[in-house]
Structure 1
Amino acid sequence: MIEMKVLSAHFACRTKDLLWYRETKQCIELLREGKSLQEIKELSQNENIFNAASASRADNIRVVTARRLNAVNKHFLEFFESQDTMTQKQLCIVLVMLTDYTFYKFMNDVFKEKLILGVTELHDSDLIGFIHSLQENDERITKWSDAAVIKVRDNYKHILKEAEFISETGTIRTIVRPIVNDAMEHFLQEEGLTPIYKILAGENA
């Protein structure tokens, strides 16, 4: 079982953590080959295995990817490797939701609701409005600057675009409803991640 520790986490203003599908897949392959996260760190530092533009960017990718993979178990890694690209990208979204409470709340409160209602458009105002609604109930979030809120908005659009959950460009993005296969549904429910399954499937709790 995978524990959803994210549900007891604080809201985070993360603006640089992308989906990093290719890098996540690369890390999972290395872990499955017997490498440790420490060895992956050394490979990143010495060989730039993520082809990052700078050492600081490579370290950011590695740290975030390690955080996400530490949130799951060996069954997740095994299941990931057995799936096609579309499902692997869905699993990367799962990793983000398991480690970023703000993103999890957005997916649960906004994205899932649109899937349930059959709404096919995601507006910039949906994302900004979501952050503003959080600010009304959590004084820590009121400290986020307008520039930070915009960066969060753009970051979430980038994550959803890379996962192929929304269209590529525009202030109004077309929502691409995820196709959750039977194996994915069974895996998420067996691992105790039914709330996340319901987000991806667009089902009421």
Structure 2
Amino acid sequence: MSTELEYSATLTGASFMFYEFKQVISLRLSGFSEQDIRKKVLSENLFQYQINASLKRSLPSVLRRARILDEMLCQMVLEQSLEAGKLINLYAIMKTDRLFFEFMNEVVREKLESNHYLLEKKDLNLYFVSKAEQDTGVAGWTEQTVTKLKNVIQRILLESGILKDKQTGELSRILMDDQLKQHLIHIGDVAYVRAMGE
């Protein structure tokens, strides 16, 4: 469970990044070590970024996400449908980012369970206010950092298919592949399946 993780604002430099995630998973399955992947991505600009600083800022997050996946989940990212791959990326983001996991679990899951398919600005605001009350680290973040995190959270929800439209805030239920769902339950991660609204 992500609760051992500290709250962090690293998500500001690392959004959904599904393309980058797939690249790293592919290299990992080809037998590259994490160090070799890092070198290859940086030397060949595999993520096709214009600015090297962006690459250096986002690569650690992508590597962290790839690191928590077992062999089967890695295979599924490359071999299953695009939707399944995106859900595995969403799962990896939740596994490596406590703030995002708790948002999914405390806000998104509750809305989907009560058939309330609307994510409003106030939901994000209230979430960050409550986290700032619970944690001095979060309380110390600048307004700019919090605003950026809110935007990144919305973008991740949009790219994963949970948020239909950023303007209206309309949420939609994901359809998780049964093989993926069973595997996540089998490895003890039912809390993440529930957080995605399944």
Structure 1 match to 2:195: 199
User: Contact 2:105/2:196 (CA < 8 Å) preserved in 1?
Assistant: no
Secondary structure of 1:122's aligned partner = coil
- Amino acid in the other structure paired with 1:19: F
- The Cα offsets for residues 146-205 of structure 1, whole Å up to 9 and x where unpaired, read as 2221111001011111112112431x3111211112112111111111100111234xxx
- Amino acid in the other structure paired with 1:16: G
Structure 1 match to 2:145: 148
Q: 1:193 to 1:119 in 2, by over 3 A?
A: same
User: Contact 1:124/1:153 (CA < 8 Å) preserved in 2?
Assistant: no
1:23 aligns with 2:25: no
Structure 2 match to 1:98: 95
Which of 161-170 and 180-189 deviates more? Answer: 161-170
* CA–CA distance in structure 2, aligned partners of residues 50 and 140 of structure 1: 31
Alignment RMSD (CA, Å)? 1.4
Residue 83 of structure 1 deviates from its aligned partner by 1.5
* CA–CA distance in structure 2, aligned partners of residues 191 and 67 of structure 1: 18
Q: State TM-score, norm by structure 2.
A: 0.93
* CA–CA distance in structure 1, aligned partners of residues 137 and 39 of structure 2: 36
2:166 to 142, 165, 169: 169
* CA–CA distance in structure 2, aligned partners of residues 108 and 13 of structure 1: 18
Residue 65 of structure 1 deviates from its aligned partner by 0.7
Secondary structure of 2:147's aligned partner = helix
Which of 177-186 and 99-108 deviates more? Answer: 177-186
- The Cα offsets for residues 81-105 of structure 1, whole Å up to 9 and x where unpaired, read as 2310011101100000000000010
* CA–CA distance in structure 2, aligned partners of residues 160 and 48 of structure 1: 27
2:72 to 70, 75, 89: 75
Structure 1 match to 2:32: 35
Aligned residues: 197
- Amino acid in the other structure paired with 1:180: M
Which of 114-123 and 55-64 deviates more? Answer: 55-64
Of Structure 1 and Structure 2, the greater helix share is in 2
User: Contact 1:128/1:149 (CA < 8 Å) preserved in 2?
Assistant: no
* CA–CA distance in structure 1, aligned partners of residues 164 and 85 of structure 2: 18
1:128 aligns with 2:125: yes
Which of 77-86 and 46-55 deviates more? Answer: 77-86
Secondary structure of 1:167's aligned partner = strand
- The Cα offsets for residues 40-91 of structure 1, whole Å up to 9 and x where unpaired, read as 2122222111001211111222211111112222232123223100111011
Q: State TM-score, norm by structure 1.
A: 0.90
Runs (4 or more) in structure 1 with deviation over 4 Å come to none
Structure 2 residue runs of 5 or longer lacking an equivalent are: none
* CA–CA distance in structure 2, aligned partners of residues 69 and 142 of structure 1: 30
Same amino acid, percent of matched pairs:
23
* CA–CA distance in structure 1, aligned partners of residues 197 and 164 of structure 2: 18
